[in-house]
Amino acid sequence: MCQLLGMNANTPTDVTFSFTGFAQRAGRTADHTDGWGVAFFEGSGVRHFVDHQRAIDSPVAELIRRYPIKSRNVIAHIRKATQGAVSLENCHPFVRELWGSYWVFAHNGDLKDFRPRLHAHFRPVGSTDSEHAFCWIMQELWKSHAGVPSVEELTLTLRELAARIAPYGTFNFLLSNGRALWAHASTHLHSIERRHPFAVARLADEDLQVDFSAVTTPQDRVAVIATAPLTSNEQWTAFAPGELRVFVDGCRAA
């Protein structure tokens, strides 16, 4: 199975610390070595990086570890292939446009025989079950809402769509449109919300710690979602099977 990392914040924040520990799972502390990717929302745009090399020694991943790109919504993924070749077009996260906004999606799991009919606007480029599921979600969102819905309306629709896909296999995913970040768990997913008073956090996969009180303001709020907890000295909350959570401005909204 793959590994997921998401971040949602109320102010542009870098994900360097979390990504440094996360990347260790691509060959050092775990064997997720079939490619990786990360997407950062910035205003109406998205910085999107993918590489079919291991994140642990990818030059592009090294750039992400050293270049503190600030964003309010970030989705990252390291791949252990179950469907589709190890190739660039099969690397998550995937990006599509809907209602004049970019949407970013990453999936951890394996969906068996989920190949519903897709309309012309949303088509997969690669051969993964994940990208097919993403295209179907985009299609069904477009069909379900005449205009741009609220976060609350989107959450209700996504709960229904996730429940229709989940019977086909393991369906842990992260999805964002830059306004909110949705996270759904079939099996393993955890989250943490950091806010004032901030403290020291220590990575579980790397000998590194950071004192967040030295690099934040009392108004900052940051939510981090990961397949497995990234730090060893903080309290992460596990998702229940079938649970979908939405994060807005650095805290859980539902």
* pLDDT in the model for residue 51: 87
Q: pTM to 2 decimals?
A: 0.94
- Check if 2 is active-site: yes
* pLDDT in the model for residue 225: 98
Instruction: Say which range, 41-45, 120-124, 193-197, has the weakest mean pLDDT.
Output: 120-124
Residue 103 confidence (pLDDT) above 80: yes
pLDDT in tens, 68-97: 899 999 999 987 556 656 678 899 999 999
Output helix, strand, coil percentages for the chain, rounded to the nearest 5: 20, 35, 45
* pLDDT in the model for residue 20: 82
Return d(Cα 168, Cα 176) in angstroms, integer.
23
Token pair for residue 113?
Answer: 């025989």
Q: Could you give phi then psi for residue 138, rounded to 5 degrees? A: -60, -45
* pLDDT in the model for residue 83: 62
Residue 217 confidence (pLDDT) above 70: yes
Q: Which residues contact 218 (CB under 8 A, 6 or more apart)?
A: 196
Return d(Cα 187, Cα 215) in angstroms, integer.
33
Q: What is the mean pLDDT of the chain?
A: 90
Range list of β-strands (E), the chain? 3-14, 36-42, 45-51, 70-78, 94-98, 101-108, 172-176, 181-184, 190-195, 200-202, 209-211, 221-226, 237-238, 244-248, 251-252
Is 247 in a helix, a strand, or coil?
strand
Instruction: Say which range, 12-16, 151-155, 170-174, has the weakest mean pLDDT.
Output: 12-16
Residue 87 and residue 26 in contact, taking contact as beta carbons nearer than 8 Å: no
Cβ–Cβ contacts within 10 Å for residue 232, how many? 12
Q: Which of 2, 91, 135, 251 is catalytic?
A: 2
Return d(Cα 83, Cα 176) in angstroms, integer.
23
Residue 194 and residue 212 in contact, taking contact as beta carbons nearer than 8 Å: yes
Return d(Cα 97, Cα 135) in angstroms, integer.
10
Return d(Cα 208, Cα 220) in angstroms, integer.
22
Residue 100 and residue 45 in contact, taking contact as beta carbons nearer than 8 Å: no
